A and B are shown apart, each in its own frame.
Chain A
């Protein structure tokens, strides 16, 4: 195989290299994780006791530091009693890939809730509803306002300074306030996502709107376009691909506010699932839930990116 391309500064990556590197970027971390989990002499700092032997304070299923375990074995040897037995394990917070995978599969195979516990899918569905409404409400205000601010300098001067101030206030700081105003259920959670997204959205989109090629605007004006017609025939279609890209990035931000939002009031959704499972030390479930967030987030973004190729063919090819 020829030398892999793409390692020169600002060089180009060939198609083959791209596929190989893309695969490796997923495989390498997984391999590292598998190695740490399945090869006993890599790390494994603890011992899971399988037989307490003569030591009183040991119990079956207990985890302890390797050094402490060895000391216990020596003590028992010296006392002439039965030595405790155990296997080297990783800490409870690092389950193996297989364990996480089976927890992940379990979530889909057995989606019904057991008792009052919500299943991972039910919890996640709740989260998706929160983020959907948060993002929709934010966009309904933020996109038109952002476009108008970008196109009307006076409005921009009127709106942007205060928005600039508001965006520096961390969204979680509004938590208590939102609960006081909107109660403890879903409304304050949606509000936190709106607060986290909206102010950035206004500024990012107004900036995108301002970057529209001025030559196109002037050409349109000499062709008799003005006011609303200019807006909808030139400004909107002209910025649409960039606006779409902005929305994709902002959706990613909305996800980061989700976890904070779900801790507000009565904790709910995937965050509630994660904290609950962590409390039971079911870390395989915790990782499965985190993976689910990642997969759904990346999946929607890839889907939207793929759609953009068809929606904005003119932009793709001119760049």
Chain B
């Protein structure tokens, strides 16, 4: 395989170790099954189809990223998966049981910081355990273990606002995981962070994921992030939101930052870009008709 020349590498050709890994993943149980999911928003008598006929299976311990152009409904999809919004059609099954409404079997990490500001870091992580009816002492014990796992046990008694954005998101991940969900849903969790912190958080997330039995569905608009993290990438297209393609990422694990310059990485990225930014797919957006006025008209031109 010739490294350095992206054009000769086909993103669809998996290296043998990756192919074996994919095969193993597909042998595992399906934890999250989405069947013919559709979502129609009705607003002032007009109906907008946000999602149409979405099907996907996420296997145990698989890491799936969802990407797509803005307006493709990827956030709507994850909110429906979390039960925060109702699907218009289709159904969602977790461990082959249909789900309705939010529940502790699907944890969620939001883009916004959503730690409870009046609870200490430790109490935040305890929240899901308390809601499950576990005693305070036991909740605290487990929460401290989670904080150790994410390396923030020193901040157990701090309040969220005393932590940086990256640390808050780490606590949010621990809080979601402490409730022992089957699937962890992440809705652009790192997009509010600066570039450096974001890369560190990605590595950190993969460390956690490697150590524990958790299935992750991760929404992002950052293609590098999607390729770097995912086993498979679900590409949505907009208007209406449909599955365009499912890509198996041809990178071996454990992932390292160096892989981002590899030919496979670049080929995958080039393909994703072509899918997401095709001019034909470009739909009228909010920038249309807002040309910058000719500023020179109001200046004195002395020539």
Residues of A bordering B, CB below 8 Å: 213, 215-216, 218-226, 229, 233-234, 237-238, 240, 312-315, 317-318
Contact = CB atoms under 8 A, between A and B. Distances in A.
Contacts of A218: 82, 84, 102, 108, 110, 114
Interface residues of B, number: 30
B176 A222 contact: yes
- The 5 A-B pairs at the shortest CB distance, nearest first, are namely A224-B104, A219-B114, A223-B128, A222-B108, A221-B102
A226 to B, nearest CB: 8
A233 B118 CA distance: 10
B127 interface: yes
Contacts of A223: 104, 107, 127-128, 131, 175-176, 179
Interface string B158-191: 0111100000000010011001000001000000
Contacts of B83: 221-222
B118 A224 contact: no
B116 A222 contact: no
A217 to B, nearest CB: 9
B179 A224 contact: yes
B111 to A, nearest CB: 9
Given A216-B114, A219-B114, A223-B128, A314 B102 contact: no
B117 A314 contact: yes
Nearest to A225: B131
A219 B104 contact: no
Contact of A314 (B104, B132, B159, B179): B159
A209 B84 CA distance: 20
A240 B160 CA distance: 17
Contacts of B172: 219
Contact of B103 (A213, A224, A229, A313): A224
A222 B103 CA distance: 5
A215 B102 CA distance: 14
A36 to B, nearest CB: 51
19 contacts: A216-B114, A219-B110, A220-B116, A222-B83, A222-B84, A222-B102, A222-B104, A222-B108, A223-B107, A223-B179, A224-B131, A225-B131, A226-B102, A233-B127, A238-B116, A312-B118, A314-B160, A315-B117, A317-B159
A145 to B, nearest CB: 23
A233 B131 contact: yes
A314 B118 contact: yes
A313 to B, nearest CB: 8
Nearest to B82: A222
Nearest to A313: B159
B130 interface: yes
Contacts of A226: 102
A312 to B, nearest CB: 8
A313 B160 CA distance: 12
Given A215-B110, A224-B128, A237 B102 contact: no
B106 A318 contact: no
A79 B82 CA distance: 103
B112 interface: yes
Contacts of A313: 159
A233 B124 CA distance: 11
B116 A216 contact: yes
Contact of B107 (A215, A216, A222, A240): A222
B123 to A, nearest CB: 10
Contacts of A234: 116
A229 to B, nearest CB: 6
B217 to A, nearest CB: 13
Nearest to B159: A314
B161 A314 contact: yes
